[in-house]
Amino acid sequence: MTQIQAKTVQPDIKRLVQKLQNAAPKRPSVVVMPDFFLDRIVTYPKDLHSFINDMARIAEQKGGNIDGVPQKEIRGGNAVNTASALAKLGVKVHPIICTDKFGYALIKLFLEGLDVDLSHVKIRECLSITTAIELHAEEGKVNVMLRDLGSLADFSPKDLSPEDFRLIEEADYVCIFNWAGTRRFGTQLAEEIFKRVKTKGRGKTYLDTADPSSNKAEIPQLVEKVMLKHFVDILSVNENEAIWYASYFEPEKVAKHKKRLKTEALAKECAQILAEHLDTRIDLHTTRFSMSIFENRSLVVPAFDVEVKQATGAGDAWNAGNIYADSQGFKAEARLTFANAVAAYYVSSLEAAHPTLAELRGFLLSKSSKTFSKIW
């Protein structure tokens, strides 16, 4: 298949703001599945080398403290983070997720004041927890995540009720996130849910698997049983995910690209490979740009250049913006610009806040043509 030539466009902020001001927003119904995590963010004020040395020093003295390390606990999990961002934009969100009683209380606290339907939350034995260690690096902040999957690892279609399936059939969008975390039954869950939407539902299906490296042995099953079965309308990937899945289809080609291309350019080529093999829209989001490949078209839009204050959750904010803009019928350029803006607002917020439409308009009005990242 001939590769589609990507077109890079400079976002038209003024036009997007006018669209947001003049349009009467539709209010889609969106199902998000299946994860909630309690995230503990440990902001270590030095680099990796210093971190390792400090750990070794404490271990050698048989234990002790390292003071002056800021920590906070925040809302985590791709599904719940995306739900929060969608709800702030005015979307009716229905999470079908699993957690324990403590986790359920935390969800209610984290989503307080938002129009999110929590009647489909599944109470199980174990909370899912992530400890993210933020470290300084030459390219900015990086984070190493230590995860306890809890009950998420065993979440399956058997956990769903007839009411859940009815909701799935009636929703405008059905989104599955963190396939990598649903360790035992993730492929079965995606296959059954998306097949249900395609045979009995009316909405679009949206898949963002999260980093598949922790579940790499199951990638062939996911590709064969879900991605190649025309069950996925929109596949959302970041750089790492694009490289992993493209390597499944064309490992030698990807290996050659790795030798000569930097990460963003490599991800772009890998997204093209995915588009050549899958009958689905490929949406790639990176730190420098976003890209959409659909209907023999490929469009690249630069990201907003902002000071990054949040090292996690950018992809969830981007997905929420992408879903919202798609639901409003935005053309690709406006859709990608809108998604980039939602993500940029979030990562530049000290409070890890997702924007309302009014706040996003204000954010866009404060930007100019000089506020975009250089792509290549």
Q: Quick: pLDDT tens for 264-303.
A: 999 999 999 999 999 999 999 999 999 999 988 999 999 9
Q: How confident is the model at residue 2 (pLDDT cuts 50, 70, 90)?
A: low
DSSP 301-355: EEPB------SS-HHHHHHHHHHHHHHTT--HHHHHHHHHHHHHHHHT-TT-PPP
Q: Does the structure show a pLDDT above 60 at 1?
A: no
- The tokens describing 226, both together, are 């879900």
CATH number at residue 287: 3.40.1190.20
In degrees, rounded to 5, the angle at the alpha carbon of residue 264 between the alpha carbons of residues 258 and 270 is 60
* pLDDT, the chain, mean: 93
Residue 156 lies in a domain: yes
Range of the domain at 274: 7-37+76-128+151-365
Inter-axis angle of helices 357-365 and 13-22, to 10 degrees? 150
Q: Quick: pLDDT tens for 127-150.
A: 999 998 988 887 777 788 899 999
pLDDT greater at residue 140 or residue 308: 308
Residue 48 lies in a domain: no
Residue 290 lies in a domain: yes
Contact present, 285 and 311 (Cβ < 8 Å): no
Q: How confident is the model at residue 341 (pLDDT cuts 50, 70, 90)?
A: very high
Of the candidates 278, 284, 293, 281, the residue with the CA atom closest to the CA atom of residue 266: 284
Residue 140 lies in a domain: no
- The tokens describing 258, both together, are 């790795």
Q: Does the structure show a pLDDT above 80 at 244?
A: yes
Instruction: Tally the domains of the chain.
Output: 1
Residue 57 lies in a domain: no
Residue 122 lies in a domain: yes
Percent of the chain with pLDDT over 70: 96
Of the candidates 12, 82, 37, the residue with the CA atom closest to the CA atom of residue 342: 82
- The tokens describing 331, both together, are 């053309």
Residues 6+ apart with CB under 8 A from 10: 302, 369, 372
Predicted model pTM: 0.92
Residue 93 lies in a domain: yes
The pLDDT value recorded for residue 70 is: 92
Residue 30 lies in a domain: yes
| Residue 130 to residue 211: CA distance in whole angstroms | 14
